[in-house]
Amino acid sequence: MQWQNKLPLIAILRGITPDEAHDHVAAVIDAGFDAVEIPLNSPQWRTSIAAMVKAFGDRALIGAGTVLKPEQVDELAEMGSKLVVTPNIQPEVIRRAVSYGMTVCPGCATATEAFNALEAGAQALKIFPSAAFGPDYIKALKAVLPPEIPVFAVGGVTPENLAVWLKAGCTGAGLGSDLYRAGQPVERTVAQAKAFVKAYREAVQ
């Protein structure tokens, strides 16, 4: 199974609370996003993810980030979560998620980690933290990866520099603090989501 979303941008809503989740997830989906992750180090993530899967699961790939253990994957599968994003390469987490039919985008930094992730069944790769490596590093890494594997830049991506990462060979990006910071007003999320979608469309037209 390959990455199938129309817009290869992942909204990372780290720190969001159950009370805030609906309005912010609605904001990014209305702007054009169809992949949303709520990291597991967010408050009451079980409540938020279960509710968002129920509310928006037919419109977007809803799931979790910072997934570290196979048992967490089991919990997410029970909720109907379809997306698993990790900060590291843990083959058993990847295999477990793939066995449930989830889309898995694990975080890696080196060619060794990337190929270990692909061997475990990952359908996409997240280069993290991208800003620390830079676009030239990703371009070099892409040269040895299977061309059909989508690579996402995560860490330091803004609407202003998104095109740079795409030019380096990334399919898309995971968007964290420049899209959403815990506690920010919905209006800010709306504005940033629209800015990212606009930047992506301008970069690929």
Put simply, whether the predicted model's pTM sits higher than 0.85 gets the answer: yes
Q: Which residues are catalytic?
A: 37, 126
Burial class of 6 by CB neighbour count within 10 A (0 to 12, 13 to 18, 19+): exposed
- pLDDT given at position 6: 85
3-37 pLDDT tens trace: 566 899 999 999 999 999 999 999 999 999 999 99
Domains of the chain, each with CATH number or no CATH: 9-204 (3.20.20.70)
The pLDDT of residue 45 is above 60: yes
Q: Quick one: CA dihedral 176, 177, 183, 188, positive or negative?
A: negative
3-state secondary structure of 152: strand
40 close to 72: Cβ distance less than 8 angstroms: yes
Q: Name 164's Cβ contacts closer than 8 Å, sequence gap at least 6.
A: 135
pLDDT at res. 10: 98
Q: What are the phi and psi torsion angles at 82 (to 5°)? A: -115, -5
Using the predicted structure, report yes or no on whether residue 94 has a pLDDT greater than 50. Answer: yes
Per-residue pLDDT tens for 68-93? 999 999 999 999 999 999 999 999 99
Cβ atoms of 100 and 73 within 8 Å: the answer is yes
